Amino acid sequence: MQGFNKYYPPDYDPSHGSLNTYRGLSIAYLYIGWSTELAIILGKHALGDRARKLDQGILITRFELPFNIWCGTCNNHIGMGVRYNAEKKRIGNYYSTPIYSFRCKCHLCDGWFEIQTDPKNTRYIVVSGARQKDEDWNPEENGGFAIHDTEGAAAPVDPLAALEKTTDAQNRLIKVEAPRLESLQSLSEQYNADPYTLSTKVRKRFREDKKVEQQKRKADDHLKNRYGFPVSLNLVEEDEASAKAAKEEWERGRRDLATQQNSKRRRLEVGHMSIYTPSSKTSTSLSKSTSKNPIESLRAHILDNTARQTNSLRRPK
């Protein structure tokens, strides 16, 4: 930490004034190139040349222009950010905030200009010797939309309307908002009266729901393993609607299976009758009708041979 203490000699008396006045000198280090020289200046202020007008309430400070200005003496443009050794002086107060004045000398001529702080509007103003460059941005000139005051001038206040509004607000506060706040407060007290009991009830209900969920998951896994369902399949929770839909689907499938079995049985009976009860006229007509189709002709020939062999087996010896 940098030390800010000063050495007071044993013979120092506060009636002598400051240490610089008492000692009659001040010590400063002058940096010249690579060498350092020690200079002893008699009767000089600690702030050096910056305090040469301190008896007039003026302190020399480094001041940077907050905006663009036109010098009033040479009429030259000075850009924002140019720095000057300004004479800083306190000229008044805005409530408890001090107002400072900065007096600068133009670097392009011998003219002086003065800029003051404006705490009320939180800005700087040019007092004399120059004029601020007007840089107000107009949205209409730059392809934008103008900003209009939609509120307009405030209408005069009607005392009766204001009183009625105040009365309505008070009635609402008494009839609506106050009971609502009381109910919320009582509800909060009810919830926070016995936190241990409430926490126990919540944890007990959570454990019961967790057990039910685990049993359901176990039953679903058992069904998936039994019927070879994929693990990622989500089973529908059983209820009356799902049970009714499943029963209707099972009945429909059962009717379809019975219909298929009956049609297959009828086809088999027709085939057996055509094999065991043949006739020569039928076989002859069949062979004539199917002579054009080789596959049908082969089928008729096989059936005719089978019928003949069956008839020969039935004859008595």
pLDDT for the residue 76: 94
For 138-160, write each residue's pLDDT tens digit.
Answer: 767 767 666 665 555 566 777 87
**Top-confidence residue, 198 or 76:** 76
pLDDT for the residue 115: 96
Q: At residue 100, does pLDDT exceed 60?
A: yes
The structure tokens listed for 255 are 């009717």
pLDDT for the residue 29: 44
pTM above threshold 0.75: no
Query: What integer is the mean pLDDT of 104-120?
Result: 94
The structure tokens listed for 253 are 């499938």
Q: State how far the Cα of 235 lies from the Cα of 19, in Å rounded to an integer.
A: 94
